[in-house]
Amino acid sequence: MTNPCEGAYAKEYQASIETPAEFWAEQAKALDWYKAPKQILSEDINGMQRWFADAELNTCYMALDYHVANGRGEQSAIIYDSPVTATKTKISYSELLDQVATFAGLLQQSGVSKGDRVVIYMPMIAEAVVAMLAVARLGAIHSVVFGGFSANELAVRIDDAKPKALITASCGIEINRVIEYKPMVDEAIVIASHKPDHVVILQRPEAQAEMQAPRDIDWKEGIKTASKADCVPVRGDDPLYVLYTSGTTGKPKGVVRDNGGHAVALKYSMSAVYNMQPGDVFWAASDVGWVVGHSYIVYAPLLHGCTTIVYEGKPVRTPDAGAFWRVIEEYQVKAVFAAPTAFRAIRKEDPEADLMANYNLDCLETVFMAGERLDPPTYHWTTEKTGKPVVDHWWQTETGWAIAANLTGVETLPTKPGSSTVPVPGFNIQILDSLGNELPANTQGAIALKLPLPPSCLATIWGDFDRFNDGYLTEYPGYYCSGDGGYIDEDGYLFVMGRTDDVINVAGHRLSTGEMEEVLASHPAVAECSVIGIHDNLKGQIPVGMTLLKDGADISAEQLEKELVAMVRKEIGPLACLKQTIVVPRLPKTRSGKILRKLLRQIAENQDIVVPSTIDDPASVSEIQGIMQSNGLVKKS
């Protein structure tokens, strides 16, 4: 085996850890700044390290204007492919620049200016990218909310971000079902305390939204009279966007991404991690509502001068499990990036990959996966059927790019199924015990990142630095606590084994069990409840609710389950995937009344059960174990 401590990777990595300011100053030279950074690494008023704070730039300029000015104007910037509407469109860099500048002008004349927030609630269409870039062009801050979230979830984000405007479409399309967005937007604004000044609506043929004058603005009508807006310079440490991710308390956390560090890290990653060159076609099969969509549908490919694909479809049923292979062949995709869930879905419907035989995948060099743990069966199936290298890499919404990966553009190392390979330059990964001591090879512990974090990582939570500090920095002083557990083996390979908190990963989407518990607990028949994630072959994890009924509650378990599932779907959205709840006589607790969720997870995963000495009633463990087994909630050996 190639030793990762030797060769090109080792040289790159060591430079990034030993002399981080010099390393990232060199990477920053690849971008066209208005004012190049001189203060590479500094501290802000909270004592957090910040990258390129004194620089001036505009991310939209770097992603569009720069390429048009340097001869890339006729190249496709976006390929929009929508099997659900039978639409295919190619948009060149010049055309995209024109659309973005014009839409930015519409936002500008609607009162949006530097530092304002704009919430974007849109489906996977090219206009979603236009909206994001237009906000960035004005030096404003976008907050994209996934179109599958309910009105209540949207309202929570509106109240936290306090946007000047909200951008939406009349509908999204889920395979063959039209989902009207405008009623959810209207309901969210009614629920929210903060009211945006304007709502800009893109009317789609599949549904026409009702307009509320003078608040609502028709996108297509508005741009007819809008003047093109110029790029507004911002500082390197000014926010580009706020992206909300689930927290264990149920209240979403607004991850803040700086303009300068974000641009440098993503530009570097396109060559170092993904081995892409300007002009190549890159496809991140995700959604703009998630961090993967922000980083690798929108910003990184365009910063690097690549062509990116905006795909409004699914891995299966649009129209079949050959959809991915069709897109790869048709657009000559060099690298595809998706969650393991996508490939599990394809495997489920086409186990022998018969549909793959209809397409020529010679153009495809590498398959990248992230968003959840890549289980060895999915790794082996994808490798065998495609004949392509499969690269598992690990990252978080908080970092915005890979923490550990196989750096195909620096030195491709041998893979190990179940491992995301080695730390990416800039990430000093350590495995710590409960006291913060570094653990030896092959010993599981908490995965922590030694400070300073590299560019693009969050330096605060929107409007709440104390929450950021408490949630990430206090458990292990001098480190960022990832919330994941795992180990590093004797070859330096990282194995991420799962979350150490109560956030579960459903098909690559991090969802808060605490938030679901709040919904379940609001039912008039429920006295107590707990939600845990259990193993699922397709989605990785799915939530299951356990409820204790109030004395005298007159409701069947079947009816209660029906009502609870409907409540979660309404309050959080269908992507929560909560479809099963069980009634239990009691839950294992500590003497202080804390439900032992870790113990419940151990039972569900069929692991050795560790019963803490603080348990209130030891007999409750065997009781709940029997109930979970009889309901099929224990992973088979």
The tens digit of pLDDT for each residue in 583-633 reads 999 888 865 456 888 889 889 989 888 786 557 788 889 999 999 999 999
Phi, then psi, of 177 in degrees rounded to 5: -120, 125
Q: Which structure tokens are listed for 285?
A: 């099969």
Nearest of 416, 378, 359, 298 to residue 539 by alpha carbon: 378
User: Which residues touch 632 (CB under 8 Å, ≥6 apart)?
Assistant: none
Nearest of 287, 350, 339, 290 to residue 316 by alpha carbon: 350
The residue ranges of every structural domain in the chain are: 503-630
Nearest of 405, 493, 451, 447 to residue 17 by alpha carbon: 451
Give the rounded percent of residues in the chain with a pLDDT score beyond 90. 75
Query: Span 64-70, mean pLDDT?
Result: 98
Residue 404 CA to residue 494 CA, distance in Å, equals 7
Report the pLDDT value the prediction gives residue 18, as an integer from 0 to 100.
97
Nearest of 548, 534, 538, 537 to residue 578 by alpha carbon: 534
Query: Span 150-178, mean pLDDT?
Result: 95
Residue 124, SS3 per DSSP: coil
Query: Span 528-544, mean pLDDT?
Result: 87
Residue 292 CA to residue 441 CA, distance in Å, equals 30
Residue 242 CA to residue 257 CA, distance in Å, equals 6
Does the pLDDT at position 250 exceed 70? no
Report the pLDDT value the prediction gives residue 5, as an integer from 0 to 100.
66
Residue 91 CA to residue 68 CA, distance in Å, equals 13
pTM flag (> 0.85):
yes
DSSP, res 470: I
Residue 63 CA to residue 302 CA, distance in Å, equals 5
* Architecture of the structural domain at 503-630: 2-Layer Sandwich (3.30)
Nearest of 310, 309, 327 to residue 318 by alpha carbon: 327
Query: Span 95-111, mean pLDDT?
Result: 98
Which comes out higher in pLDDT, residue 148 or 41?
41
Cα angle value 542/548/554 (rounded, 5°) = 115
Phi, then psi, of 438 in degrees rounded to 5: -70, 135
Phi, then psi, of 175 in degrees rounded to 5: 65, -85
Nearest of 301, 280, 303, 268 to residue 424 by alpha carbon: 268
Does the pLDDT at position 563 exceed 90? yes
Residue 172, SS3 per DSSP: strand
Residue 153, SS3 per DSSP: helix
Report the pLDDT value the prediction gives residue 617, as an integer from 0 to 100.
80
Least confident span in 3-17, 160-174, 192-206, 327-341: 3-17
Across 246-250, 425-429, 497-501, 572-576, the highest mean pLDDT is recorded for 425-429
Query: Span 221-247, mean pLDDT?
Result: 95
Does the pLDDT at position 110 exceed 50? yes
For the chain, helix, strand, coil in percent to 5 are 30, 25, 45
Burial readout 607-637 (b: 16 or more C-beta within 10 A, e: otherwise):
eeeeeeeebeeeebbeebbebbeeeebbeee
Residue 286 CA to residue 538 CA, distance in Å, equals 16
Residue 485 CA to residue 443 CA, distance in Å, equals 10
- Across the chain, which distance is largest between two alpha carbons, in Å? 74
Least confident span in 162-166, 551-555, 612-616: 612-616
Residue 405, SS3 per DSSP: strand
Query: Span 366-381, mean pLDDT?
Result: 88
Report the pLDDT value the prediction gives residue 6, as an integer from 0 to 100.
80
Residue 374 CA neighbour count, 13 Å, CB half: 33
Does the pLDDT at position 3 exceed 70? no
DSSP, res 276: -
Least confident span in 57-71, 279-293, 419-433, 519-533: 519-533
- Sign of the dihedral defined by the CA atoms of residues 298, 263, 111, 154, in that order: positive
Residue 392 CA to residue 134 CA, distance in Å, equals 33
Residue 633 CA to residue 315 CA, distance in Å, equals 27
Pairing status of strand 171-174 against strand 177-180: antiparallel
Which amino acid, 370?
A
Nearest of 324, 330, 308 to residue 386 by alpha carbon: 324
Contact 136, 100 (CB under 8 A): no
Nearest of 342, 282, 289, 288 to residue 318 by alpha carbon: 342
Contact 400, 367 (CB under 8 A): no
- Mean pLDDT, the chain, rounded, equals 93
Residue 156 CA to residue 372 CA, distance in Å, equals 26
Contact 76, 95 (CB under 8 A): no
Contact 422, 416 (CB under 8 A): no
Q: What is the DSSP string of 567-617?
A: HHHHHT-GGG---EEEE-S---BBTTS-B-HHHHHHHHTTPPP---TTBS-
Residue 187 CA to residue 543 CA, distance in Å, equals 27
Does the pLDDT at position 2 exceed 60? no
Residue 352 CA to residue 342 CA, distance in Å, equals 16
Does the pLDDT at position 1 exceed 50? no
Query: Span 227-233, mean pLDDT?
Result: 98
